[in-house]
Amino acid sequence: MNRARALVVGSFLALAVSGCATAIENSIVFQPRKYPTGDWAPTPGIEDVWIESSDGVRLNGWLARAERPQAVVLYTHGNGGNITTRREVLRLFRDRLNASVMVFDYRGYGKSGGAPTETGVLDDARAARRYLAATCGVREGDVVLVGHSLGGGVAVDLAAADGARGLILEGTFTSLPDVAASHVPLLPVRAVMQSKLNSVDKIRNYRGPLFQVHGDADRIVPYSLGQKLFAAANEPKQFMTIPGGGHSDPPTPEYVAALKQFLATLP
């Protein structure tokens, strides 16, 4: 190990030992946009809702109801932005897939209170699913979970612990340390990262239908990590590759058609 690398590694490890790295790590893992950043203008047909997490943090979400929905969907978004960048998700699931769908902001995002941590966002997702199920008159286990990127790790945690009618994962990883290691292979991130979202272990406990999609040109979450996560999952499962697809590309017609088929065949 050369001197420059030793200094970098030593500094990172020193931060980890001192506890200072936790705040730095959270600022990298979670990149929220707080209100008023974003387009918060009311949209006809989209309800502004408020949810209380188990520790009292108030969370903001948007709910779009279909008239006779074939599914009730909770969408857990990625690590950046806020719900104002997810309007197309609502339109996709309600208008094209005939599903009632809710997106919500984790603590620290948008209008939601608090500050994001791994434990906190997982608790927020449970509160959001509880609220959605009660509002739409279904059991929590009958909610379809859809997660993008970091939100895929959140959705896996929910599905593995409590079940789901179906699980849809978009550009999702095996674990946060695996993603970090793919970007900074010279640093011992697996040893010091506090945030894990260890989906590759958790997904083994999920027994319901899984539909996973990943672009093979994803530069944020490597395609190989998506394949590894899928390999660890139980049947029934299906994997769709988007040729040339990046991490946050708009849904392709082929993906929308596959989503429609998946939702139509859920028990």
pLDDT greater than 90 at residue 226 = yes
Are 127 and 149 within 8 A, CB to CB? no
According to the model, what pLDDT value does residue 184 have?
A: 76
CA distance 210 to 191: 30
Q: Please give the average per-residue pLDDT across 208-216, as a whole number.
A: 98
Q: Which listed residue (142, 162, 247, 248) is catalytic?
A: 247
112 catalytic residue (yes or no): no
- 57-66, 140-149, 176-185: which range is least confident on average? 176-185
- 130-144, 148-162, 192-206, 231-245: which range is least confident on average? 192-206
Q: Note down the domain range covering 237.
A: 3-264
**What band does 185 get if pLDDT is binned at 50, 70 and 90?**
confident
Q: Which listed residue (149, 175, 195, 199) is catalytic?
A: 149
pLDDT greater than 50 at residue 12 = no
Number of domains in the chain: 1
**What band does 4 get if pLDDT is binned at 50, 70 and 90?**
very low
According to the model, what pLDDT value does residue 84 have?
A: 97
**What band does 191 get if pLDDT is binned at 50, 70 and 90?**
low
SS3 235: coil
DSSP letter string over 1-29? --HHHHHHHHHHHHHHHHTTHHHHHHHHH
- Residue 236: asked if its preceding bond is cis (omega within 30°), the reply is yes
27 catalytic residue (yes or no): no
Q: What is the CATH number of the domain that holds 183?
A: 3.40.50.1820
Q: Please give the average per-residue pLDDT across 75-80, as a whole number.
A: 96
Are 145 and 155 within 8 A, CB to CB? yes
DSSP class of residue 171 equals S
Q: Please give the average per-residue pLDDT across 91-104, as a whole number.
A: 98
148 catalytic residue (yes or no): no
According to the model, what pLDDT value does residue 194 have?
A: 64
Torsion of Cα atoms, 255 then 101 then 206 then 142, to 10°:
-130
Residue 175, strand partner residues? none
